[in-house]
Amino acid sequence: MTNNAYDQLVNDFMVKIIAKNPGEEEFHQAVKEVVESLVPYIEENPHYKEAKILERIAEPERVILFRIPWVDDKGEVQINKGIRIEMNSAIGPYKGGLRFHPTVNLGILKFLAFEQVFKNSLTTLPMGGGKGGSDFDPKGKSDNEVMRFCQSFMTELFRHIGPNTDVPAGDIGVGGREIGFLFGQYKRLKNEFTGVLTGKGREWGGSLIRPEATGYGATYFAEEMLKTKGDSLKDKIVAISGSGNVAQYATEKVTELGGKVVTLSDSSGYIYDPDGIDEEKLAYIMHLKNVKRGRIREYAEKYGCEYHEGQRPWGVKCDVAMPNATQNEINEDEAKILIENGCMCISEGANMPSTPEATLVYQDAKILYGPGKAANAGGVSVSGLEMSQNSLRLSWTREEVDSRLQTIMKDIHETCVKYGKEDDGYIDYVKGANIGGFVKVADAMLAQGVV
């Protein structure tokens, strides 16, 4: 079959997806990227086509929409939307984070749930895919308001989830504080202490290394990619976006492996610190963001470095870029600037942070490019390990969890190489991750019949 014929198949498929899911642009974008990788593979393996696996995998098994009423500190009633997408349970209970952010809508959560199916499969652990959240904005809310909101959210969600059904975790706007409030309310409603959420506190069922896992994992993935070129993170200049959970622990691990992180950002702007963000400066960021809940601008004021209001860090010269904030945060022009400035490796801690046009720029330049569903799978991997520990009623040591995380990231890298290596030696990690993630889920779906 020619490339044109494949393009036609992708277009035909996407016409149907867009008609069925109008206005859900991020979902269309995520499906198109996967379908582009899969169409040639499925043409070679027609049993998937006959069973309509692609059509089924792009339709959530269940979508739950609900109202979240709560009362703010002024005594005023507030209403938010609650959503849980139970996307695919072919290889295990639904698993995926909760996002609390004003931009949350059905299309964004469907894109995240769809990506999660492939990511979870890549981890080799038995986890299906899901995602959920709310348009609630925790920014500027008191702890009591966040607690009342979380309790109201769980008062509806609890009837749909469970340790063998659906196991949510954190994502943007949902960290240790929110998971605590959600878990407390679930336990109260069900009168059960179970591993129904991951990212729990260490003292009450959480796993060591879970907070670190996504940032560490994306850094290990970058190291694996660089290794294919006989290189490493040592002495590399690294640009990181975001300053939340993923960005913080990526900064920690890159620094530990000898790289120098020179940027961090939030939704207001980015800081550029050419001296590097060392251990002491990172401790300041962690306090600023996790306790004080302040803005990244304050870092520049404290350490006397540059702050660029309203901008993203991709114009800064770097060897490695780690977009760790949100979707579509690197566009085509920014991708070109990264390459012109000598960036050789991109490891995505965030989900779908590069636009399709940016991805093409990386692929044309044949740089090392680890897409989110492979590079950021460390978070859900350690969530899977938290589920195992909860089932065993045991806690593994930090070393044990970290060593399992490293092994999983190496295995994911190998899977990407297996399915993504081209004749000239270039590794197409997008294709590798999509096909590698698909096969296990698709085979399970085939085995389980038309369900």
Q: Is 325 in the site for ligand NDP (CB under 6 A)?
A: yes
- One symbol per residue from 184 to 223: x for binding ligand NDP (CB under 6 A), - otherwise; what is it? ------------------------------x---------
Task: Select the span of 1-9, 40-48, 148-156, 321-329 touching ligand NDP (CB under 6 A).
Answer: 321-329
- Cβ closer to ligand NDP: 21 or 251? 251
**What would the two tokens of residue 122 be?**
């890549």
Q: Is 252 in the site for ligand NDP (CB under 6 A)?
A: no
- Cβ closer to ligand NDP: 134 or 155? 134
User: Counting Cβ atoms within 10 Å, is residue 110 exposed (0-12), middle (13-18) or buried (19+)?
Assistant: buried
Q: Is 133 in the site for ligand NDP (CB under 6 A)?
A: no
Query: Which of 131, 141, 260, 431 is the catalytic position?
Result: 131
Site for ligand NDP in 260-279 (CB under 6 A): 266-268
Q: How far is the CB of 84 from ligand NDP (least distance, A)?
A: 16
Q: Are 194 and 162 in contact (CB under 8 A)?
A: yes
Q: Name which of 245, 327, 325 is nearest 289 in CA terms.
A: 245
Question: What is the four-CA torsion angle of 23, 25, 28, 33, rounded to 10 degrees?
Answer: 170
User: Counting Cβ atoms within 10 Å, is residue 19 exposed (0-12), middle (13-18) or buried (19+)?
Assistant: exposed
SS3 category, 310: coil
| Ramachandran area for residue 269 (φ above 0: left; ψ -120 to 50: alpha; else beta) | left
Q: Is 326 in the site for ligand NDP (CB under 6 A)?
A: yes
Q: Is 246 in the site for ligand NDP (CB under 6 A)?
A: yes
Nearest residue to ligand NDP on Cβ basis: 244
Site for ligand NDP in 31-90 (CB under 6 A): none
- Token pair 């989900």 is found at 351
Q: Does the active-site annotation cover 139?
A: no
- One symbol per residue from 144 to 183: x for binding ligand NDP (CB under 6 A), - otherwise; what is it? --------------------------xxxx-x--------
Q: Is 96 in the site for ligand NDP (CB under 6 A)?
A: no
- Token pair 């399970």 is found at 444
Q: Across 20-76, where does the E strand assignment appear?
A: 62-71
Q: How far is the CB of 75 from ligand NDP (least distance, A)?
A: 27
Helix (H) or strand (E) holding 56: helix 53-57
**What would the two tokens of residue 41 be?**
């593979």
- Cβ closer to ligand NDP: 9 or 247? 247
Q: How far is the CB of 122 from ligand NDP (least distance, A)?
A: 12
**What would the two tokens of residue 258 be?**
């000898």
- Cβ closer to ligand NDP: 48 or 94? 94
Q: How far is the CB of 384 from ligand NDP (least distance, A)?
A: 12
Report d(CA 127, CA 91) in Å as an integer.
6
Site for ligand NDP in 401-440 (CB under 6 A): none
- One symbol per residue from 354 to 383: x for binding ligand NDP (CB under 6 A), - otherwise; what is it? ----------------------x--x----
Q: Across 107-208, where does the E strand assignment appear?
A: 129-134, 166-169
Strand 166-169 to 94-100 pairing? parallel
Q: Is 348 in the site for ligand NDP (CB under 6 A)?
A: no
- Number of residues located near ligand NDP, criterion CB under 6 A: 23
Strand 62-71 to 345-347 pairing? unpaired
Q: Which of 82, 244, 384, 437 is in the footprint of ligand NDP by CB under 6 A?
A: 244
Cα–Cα distance list, 189 to 157, 159, 162, 185, 325 (Å)? 11, 9, 12, 6, 34
Q: Are 175 and 210 in contact (CB under 8 A)?
A: no
Residues annotated as catalytic are 131
Residues of this chain that interact with ligand NDP (CB under 6 A) are: 170-173, 175, 214, 242-247, 266-268, 324-326, 349-351, 376, 379
